[in-house]
Amino acid sequence: MEKSEVSIHELKVYLVLRGDESKWLTNSEIAQQIEGAISARTVRAHTAKLVKAGLVDQAEVFPGHRFRWASKAGKRNGGYLQRLEKAREVFGL
């Protein structure tokens, strides 16, 4: 069962990944691009969730996995994408 709540931190991770859909980023790089204090560990939890939901692609490379927005995200999980966009509206981002 998929959790339907979207946190502000998850939304910020989403916005960074949507900002440049062609760029592969590590969790640390994503954390650095987010305004406010969000740790790489928190980002890692959200990227894992977004990968599992099919919205983000993951490249398992050393020294750190890389992530980018999936080109087929809307087809893979349009419902969760809609929840993210609704959260974006609610949080005013």
Residue ranges making up the domain that contains 27: 8-84
pTM listed for this prediction: 0.91
Structure confidence at residue 83 (pLDDT): 95
pLDDT digits (tens, 9 = 90+) for 6-59: 999 999 999 999 999 999 999 999 999 998 789 999 999 999 999 999 999 999
Q: Where would I find the H helices in the chain?
A: 8-19, 27-33, 40-52, 73-91
Count up the domains in the chain and report the number.
Answer: 1
**Residue 4: band (very low, low, confident or very high) from pLDDT cuts 50, 70, 90:** confident
**Residue 1: band (very low, low, confident or very high) from pLDDT cuts 50, 70, 90:** very low
**Residue 3: band (very low, low, confident or very high) from pLDDT cuts 50, 70, 90:** low
Provide the CATH number for the domain around residue 57: 1.10.10.10
